[in-house]
Amino acid sequence: MLRYIASRAGTGLFLLLALSVLIFIMLRLTPGDPIDAYINPTIPIGAADLAALRERLGLDQPLPVQYFAWLAAALSGDFGYSIQRGGVPVLPLVLSRVGPTVLLMFTAIAISIVVGVSAGIISAVRKNKASDVGLSIVSFLGVSSPAFLTGLLGLYAFSVLLRWFPSGGMLTPGRPYSSLDLLYHLILPATLLSIAQGALIMRYMRGSLLEVLSQDYVRTARAKGVREFWVVVKHAVRNALLPVITLIGSTIGGAIGGAIFIESVFNWPGMGLLMINAVTSRDYSVIMCATLLTGASVILVNLLTDIAYAAVDPRIRNA
């Protein structure tokens, strides 16, 4: 098991390094000059001053030299400074946005797991019944709806038309902090973020449970007179959950991608909103740090998912 964990962790570190190279190159290949982000367009600057600034920032060096200089600084915890925010250190800025995003994402994931697994069980047990058909239609709509579309439609329906939930923010301005106020602002964006993941979990759970229910040991349990409820709950659901565990881990990546859109729609002060503002203002240091932290989170969650799956099924770690 330890050898399996070490192998997966090594793969994760390699992927993180490859991600840093890819993002660094892509940022340098974007249209425009990185030096433009450091210059006030309303103030004239001479060629000598421009060259001096480029030298001071290391932008006059070859691209590999620039990358390894950045990597050495990043390994020591120095991710540079935010241009958009007047020289604020990047790492504390990014870390300050982790909490709201984690709260939004894991609330959405908890909703998607509970609703998706429950709906998948109901759909499988009542195969080809009206409830199965209805849940299947809803799941197909959920899987095919991108986060920005569900976010905009949900905002318009529940905040603008019905006025059931606030249209944005994490807390009500001018009011003292309250857990109920936070929950009131959290329910709608978290629910909308959970739709795609919940629909996908429901489809996998339904298919996996239908396959398990056709196995010989399930038919044997029924032949022995075991009540159908216990056949499903005690014998079938546990084994049907095995492939769903892996899927739940992979939904973290989808939740992160969806959170970027949901946070921008609802002005939720998390990593997604920070990254969008950084991209629009060409704040390269913030983009690099936020992207790497996001990638590291996805890799870590997938590693934990692989470990959990290997613990449940020893054949995985012995393969």
Scored b (16 or more CB within 10 A) or e, 205-234 reads: bbbbbbebbeeeebeebeeeeeeeeebbee
Burial class (CB in 10 A: 0-12, 13-18, 19+), 87: exposed
Tell if the pTM clears 0.85, that is, is over it. no
How many whole angstroms separate alpha carbon 214 and alpha carbon 76?
A: 55
Residue 188 covered by a domain? yes
The residue range of the domain holding 191 is 98-269
What is the CATH classification number for the domain harbouring 235?
1.10.3720.10
pLDDT tens digits, 246-272: 777 667 767 777 788 888 888 888 888
Question: What is the torsional sign of CA 163, 168, 171, 172?
Answer: negative
- Is residue 156 in some structural domain? yes
Number of domains in the chain: 1
User: What's the pLDDT at 168?
Assistant: 80
Is 181 a domain residue? Answer: yes
Chain centroid offset of residue 277 CA: 18
Helices (H), 126-178: 130-144, 147-154
Residue 15 CA to residue 18 CA, distance in Å, equals 5
Q: Is residue 171 in a domain?
A: yes
Residue 224 lies in a domain: yes
314 belongs to a structural domain: no
Extract the residue ranges of the chain whose pLDDT is less than 70. Answer: 31-47, 49-50, 53-54, 57-59, 86, 226, 235, 249-250, 253, 309-319
In-domain check, residue 137: yes
200 is a domain residue: yes
